[in-house]
Structure 1
Amino acid sequence: MNNKKKNELIKNFENSKLMKLFGGQISNFNEDYVEIEVSKKEFMMRPAGMFNGATIASLIDIASYASALTKSSSGYYATVELKINYLSPAVGDKLIAKANVIKRGKLLTVVRSDIFAAINEKENLVSTSLVTLMCLQNKSKEIQID
């Protein structure tokens, strides 16, 4: 991945209002792959002490979008399908999203995103998903920031 693409991905991520709210950080990325970490905050939690499903779904969507951006040369992406399997309660100090492009087409890109809850750096898989994104062409010359 070239430096221009890396900078574009980081700029896009830093301008995400949802990631600012979540306090999300990109912990690792390369071509077709992104890891995002989100530390526990009270508004993300269910009364029983686990992360709520809305937080997980939002993190999946953003990580999938970011992994698609790692190789995109033009345009931006819109989610057209998001299927989540919640596998176990998301109990932990933070969530880690690991998103990997598994098929990239001219119009549609399919991403697998796994979410792990971590306690003392021990990760437990709590959800897995398939996300289909559609590449939309940006008519302006500016970088699309979402």
Structure 2
Amino acid sequence: MPISQLRRGRGSVIHGDFQQRIRNSFARQRAMETIGAELTRVEHGSVEIELNFDPKLTQQHGFLHAGVISAALDSACGYAAYSVIDPDASILTIEFKVNLMSPGRGERFLFRGDVTKPGSTIIVADGRAYAISDGPAKLIASMTGTMMVIRGREGITG
């Protein structure tokens, strides 16, 4: 369940206009621009990125490349984490694990990141990647990522 659907406990605060900060940051992310990814949903603790199929992003069998899947999941999880931190902080991924469950075959792909464990220094997020074609969306990959909250480091800002 996304954190946005969980009841916020005492002391839980949504900091500033996180949606605009995430949209501005995503617009500066050239890797996502290069693969044609779009930021389609931003909520407190949950982010979705979508991508149209492009043969230039495939591996030798014509499936969406695992590196592309991993990059999009990393961004979705990272921005989900970014949505729960102070406006003067930023996020860097320090570790992730991806499970590829089914070939990346579809007309469009959805990458969803949800904060699993918020924290002031370390945040854990889980991601899911889905292939979308005719019929129901198919789960093709999952990710668990660990993000570090960065404050006061030169050259690293929101």
- Give TM-score, length-normalised by structure 2: 0.83
Q: What displacement does 1:139 show? A: 4.2
What residue number does 1:90 align with? 104
How much identity, in percent, do the aligned residues show? Answer: 19
CA deviations 1:45-78 (Å, max 9, x no partner) are: 1232210100011111111111111121132111
Does the residue aligned with 1:19 lie in a helix, a strand or coil?
helix
1:75 — aligned with what?
89
What is aligned with 1:103? 117
Quote the Cα distance in structure 1 between the aligned partners of 2:81 and 2:89: 11
**Is 2:55 aligned against 1:34?**
no
Instruction: Determine which of 107, 115, 133 is the counterpart of 2:129.
Output: 115
Structure 2 unmatched runs, 5+ = 1-13
**Larger strand proportion, structure 1 or 2?**
1
Number of aligned residue pairs: give it: 144
Runs (4+) of structure 1 exceeding 4 A deviation are none
CA-based RMSD: 1.9
Q: Residue 57 of structure 1: which of 50, 70, 76 is its match?
A: 70
User: Which residue number corresponds to residue 15 of structure 1?
Assistant: 28
| Residues 1:25 and 2:31 are matched in the alignment | no
Cα deviation for residue 93 of structure 1 reads 1.2
Shift of 1:144: 2.0
Letter in 2 for 1:46: Q
**Unpaired segments ≥5 residues, structure 1:** none
The separation in 2 between residues aligned to 1:122 and 1:20, in whole angstroms, is 27
CA–CA distance in structure 1, aligned partners of residues 95 and 156 of structure 2: 24
Contact (CA 8 Å) 1:76, 1:138: kept in 2 or not? Answer: no
Distance (whole Å) between structure 2 residues aligned to residue 29 and residue 39 of structure 1: 19
Measured against aligned partners, the alpha-carbon deviations of 1:74-108 in whole angstroms (never above 9, x if no partner) come to 32111111011111111011221011001011110
